[in-house]
Amino acid sequence: MAKLYFSYSSMNAGKSTILLQAAYNYRERGMAALLLTAALDDRAGRGRIASRIGLAAEADLFEATTDLAAHIRTRRSEGPLDCVFVDEAQFLTEAQVWQLASVADDMGIPVICYGLRTDFQGRLFPGSAALLALADTLREVKTICWCGRKATMVARLDGSGRIVEQGEQVVIGGEDRYVSLCRRHWSRRQLSHEGGHGAATNEGADGA
């Protein structure tokens, strides 16, 4: 039976690397995989999934208004489809997560989603909340805080490396904008052994 999977983590845990490797394994065995990624995240180029270690692949884009079940159904009508991979799954809507569940349940196609669990304020993204509720299988992709503990939280930084506590939920960025921390040091706003954190700032959205 096909399942809906959600692999989640904090920032820079290697989710895209794992996705690209899994998709490659499918294709290496002569199986067809469809890759999807959020249209609003174009850091690797529009319609492209890339990892920090240099792996990359083309992907179809989804927006908040995209009917993913219809998109996948159309793709399957064009030829065999053995698996669907979704990057940046935190940007899915709740309705889209239900659509992906129907792809697994009604079309018999496994759907494997990768994304962040929480934002810089420790709150669930809507897509992640829906996936945590609906996915058949949950997998945590682990990374570590500077202290060596498991990192479960994400801190947002401003241009000077100071922690930001207010602002829009979605501000696209990489290592220059976000750092993964354990819950203890996220709560303390502590970025290093020296205790550097800077005063928190009130910042609005500077991108999406």
The tokens for 65 are 């208004």
The tokens for 188 are 């303390």
d(CA 48, CA 79): 22
d(CA 184, CA 104): 38
Residues marked active site are found at: 88
98-128 exposure pattern, b = at least 16 Cβ within 10 A, e = fewer: ebbbbbbeebebbbbbbbbbbbbeeebbbbb
d(CA 60, CA 39): 9
